[in-house]
Structure 1
Amino acid sequence: MSWHLPWTAHLGLRGPDAPLFRHSARSADPFDQIDFIADLGFAGVQDNYAALRPADEQARVAGHAARRGLKLASFVHDPLGWNLPRWSADDAEGRAALMKELAHSLATAERIGGGTVICVAGFDRARTREAQLAAMVDNLRRAGDAAGRAGVALCVEMTSPSWLPDMLVTRIADAEAVVRQAAHPAVRLMFDAGHIAMNGDDPLAVFGRVADLIGGVQVADMPEGEGPGRIDVGGGTTNWVPLLRAIRAAGYAGLFEVEHEAEGEGRAGEARLIERLRAVDAAVAGE
């Protein structure tokens, strides 16, 4: 059965050794994962930790994905320092280090054929949030020139403090402001519906405000009550059909990145994830 929306699966969120379908595929090896994802009919694969792989492995993983007809989705900039206040550096040494790491991310993007780099930043307790956000705007504007030449989008992602504490961009309003103030075509917004909902905001209402900034879309559902967030799409409280229809109607033609772990245990949990996603996908298409 084919899919109506171009979904992706990840090769690991919390770490590179815990891919989405680690129980259903032959193994957690990225090549086995890619085979399973392709056989499932997904459109892409998200290799969050691509920048940590040796250059030759980056090329081999991307090459296998391409042979199986999968596009490369987003990956994390500076995966060893993603939670440090590097994007908000306001001194020459810090900015030079940032640009050096950016060069590595852009080289990774070129090798794997990926066009979206996720940008998050840790919070520096010694400085005000306002000063750090302003510095992040300046740094993204500078970085945008290099990213633009490489054909890469730098996507600013807000993260809910209930999921990831001590981060700089913790509200969608701040992420929106950073992207708008950077005012650079290579600086975009990663629309993570899970983090938005986790903060108590309505993803559909938020999308209407930021649709012109979107560089990528990530999906995860929110459970009822006080349970931990980021569960199977279709298993929680988010009203996916109008949201996904609105995203497509706005002209978004990119991938929809499934950015959560299976809610259930083992192979059965992963099968349930797929079943729920199929139901949402069919409902969006009006089936």
Structure 2
Amino acid sequence: MSKAWVPDLVATQQTIPSTTRWKAWLSAYPPLVVAGVLWIVAMLGIAIFADLLAPYAYSQLDLKARLQPPVFFGGNSEHWLGTDELGRDLLSRLFISVRISLLVAFIGTLLSAMIGVLLGFLAAHFRGWVEQLVLMLVDFQASMPFLVIALAVLAFLGNTLPLFIALMGFYGWERAARIARGLTIAANEQGYAAAANEIGASPLRVYFLHVLPNIASTLIVSVTLTFPELILLEAGLSFLGLGVQPPMTSLGNMVGYGREYLQSAPWILLAPSAVIVLTTFSVSLVGDWLRDRLDPTLR
């Protein structure tokens, strides 16, 4: 073989594996999923450092600059996203709104998952009338429109942020309860849970140290479904005036204020609406990707 072909063969051998690796990486991490992850990370960064990123105080009034358009509508760089009807900087309010909305959705999702997992474990452990009671509660929760329940509770009990977050924690728990109950019953029939019981481990140790880690992947997928739903639910309740109350602000709160100026100042609700759509879409997209990656039945 001629020596002139040696570099070409080496180059070919190096090119094929790198191309294959690139295709495999794109197959495992689609660009749309990567974009969704980056958007979620950006939203988390904004939520954490909102006070540092906001150019103004979110409640600072400037009536001389009221209804000033954003830069892309012909405004100036003093207010990149413009101002609202009271002259408040929309970019600053958007940063704080992202923090409040994500906080409500995150704590609500965590409470929902905890309630669902605990009730699912109780139903799988005791069976009998306890299981029937839990299943009855699950069916009742699934059959009742949660938005109607939330409107009734907030209308009669008033609205504070802790109460509002606690109320969000009762959304979607029946989904986690069904998953936890079914997978725990299956786990109890498998070797590792039975072995832990045989050596004298307490039920709490068996369920939280052995069963829970094995069903966590499915629960994570369930959480990624609940989280964007809670963002939309918070936005809807705040839009109706029963969510986050002034002087605090949220994404739904901003959209609710902007509806009165839809024709004269549409930029008031454009930015929060876009953030709501992109955030819920990104979380749902990443959740579907996680389901495909973590669910063994889909591999």
| Fold agreement, TM-score > 0.5 | no
Larger radius of gyration: 2
| Greater strand proportion | 1
Where is the helix percentage greater, Structure 1 or Structure 2?
Answer: 2
Q: Which has the higher contact order (CA 8 A, sep 6+)?
A: 2
- Please give the TM-score of this superposition, normalised by the length of structure 1: 0.24
